[in-house]
């Protein structure tokens, strides 16, 4: 396997927590070993909490715009930054303010 320019001597056969995390967030800086670990984690725990469960953490707070949304929908720099299906990103983002 050819090493990409950004790899800088990294062993692509050794999974990295940072690259697994990058892959889970939709990033492109991962190798097969990282993706395999990520898929194993997703199979064990595909959904950590539902949107409703996460929303409960905001009880007593005013949820700020744009609300509790999939990561790519959280204040994108431009509409072009939003993928066709934001729900493919498994993480949700929100911010609240104490009234």
The more confident residue out of 82 and 2 is 82
CA distances to 11, 27, 69 from 8, in Å: 9, 18, 35
Q: State pTM to two decimals.
A: 0.49
Q: Say if CB 75 and CB 93 are below 8 A apart.
A: no
Q: How confident is the model at residue 61 (pLDDT cuts 50, 70, 90)?
A: very high
| pLDDT for res 60 | 95
- With DSSP H G I counted as helix, E B as strand and the rest as coil, what are the percentages for the chain, rounded to 5? 40, 10, 55
The domain locations on the chain are 5-44, 51-97
Query: Which secondary-structure segment (H or E) carries 34?
Result: helix 32-44
Instruction: Categorize the per-residue pLDDT at 46 as very low, low, confident or very high, splitting at 50, 70 and 90.
Output: low
Query: Which residues is 1 bridged to in the sheet?
Result: none
Q: What is the pLDDT of residue 4?
A: 64
Report pLDDT for 85: 85
Locate 96 and state its tokens. 């609240």
């Amino acid at each position: 396997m050819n090493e990409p320019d950004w790899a800088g001597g990294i062993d692509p056969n050794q999974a990295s927590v940072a690259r697994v995390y990058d892959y889970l967030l939709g990033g492109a800086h991962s190798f097969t070993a990282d993706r395999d670990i990520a898929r194993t984690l997703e199979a064990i725990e595909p959904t950590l909490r539902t949107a409703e469960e996460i929303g409960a953490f905001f009880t007593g707070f005013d949820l700020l715009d744009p609300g509790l949304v999939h990561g790519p929908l959280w204040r994108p720099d431009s509409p072009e930054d939003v993928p066709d299906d934001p729900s493919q990103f498994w993480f949700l983002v929100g911010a609240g303010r104490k009234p």
